[in-house]
Amino acid sequence: MPTPSWPLTVGWEDRDAHPRAVPLALAGGAGAAAMAVFGLPPVDLHGPLHFLGVMDPLCGMTRASRLLVLGHIGDALRYNPAAPALAAGAVAALVKAAWGRAVGRWCTVRLSRHGWAALFWVLVIAGWETNQQADAEHHSCAAERVPARRRGRSRGPGRRRVDVETLAQPGPGR
């Protein structure tokens, strides 16, 4: 009877198994930083399927990346919940590369086929649950029980509402 193998293996190698990760992480970080300084691009960045109503997993990532660099983590999560995970992966790739260059050995993490399948189903179920919760909050009657004054309809003099769309728009000092 064969012994079961772990779906995740971690080891050390004499060369970097993912040499393209560093340039990709640096380009993504530079792009997000540029958008934080100069604002969002003036062109439409949607893929062709977007115009047919098909959203891809990167939908909202441009605004989410910019908001993440600006420190608005909650707003970045609203645009694309994967933005902080993608940023953490980029930082991990840079740390791994720096460590590998310093000591001459690179940490390599590999998933087996079964590990990839398990990760796929965990992400599908997590996405489904997130969607269900978003729909539950959207359809809840809690907003109807809150007085209009607390919902933001009557703010009083000198008080303005700043929403995610305002933060995402390019402008001076943003």
Q: Which tens digits make up the pLDDT trace of 60-118?
A: 889 999 999 999 998 998 888 888 989 999 999 999 999 999 999 988 888 888 888 88
In-domain check, residue 88: yes
Which domain covers residue 22, as residue numbers? 17-107
In-domain check, residue 170: no
In-domain check, residue 64: yes
Q: What is the dihedral of CA 41, 44, 46, 51, to 10 degrees?
A: 160
Q: Say how far apart CA 79 and CA 66 lie, in whole Å.
A: 10
Region 23-50: mean pLDDT is: 90
In-domain check, residue 163: no
Q: Please count the structural domains in the chain.
A: 1
Sign of CA dihedral 45, 47, 48, 54: negative
Region 14-31: mean pLDDT is: 92
In-domain check, residue 50: yes
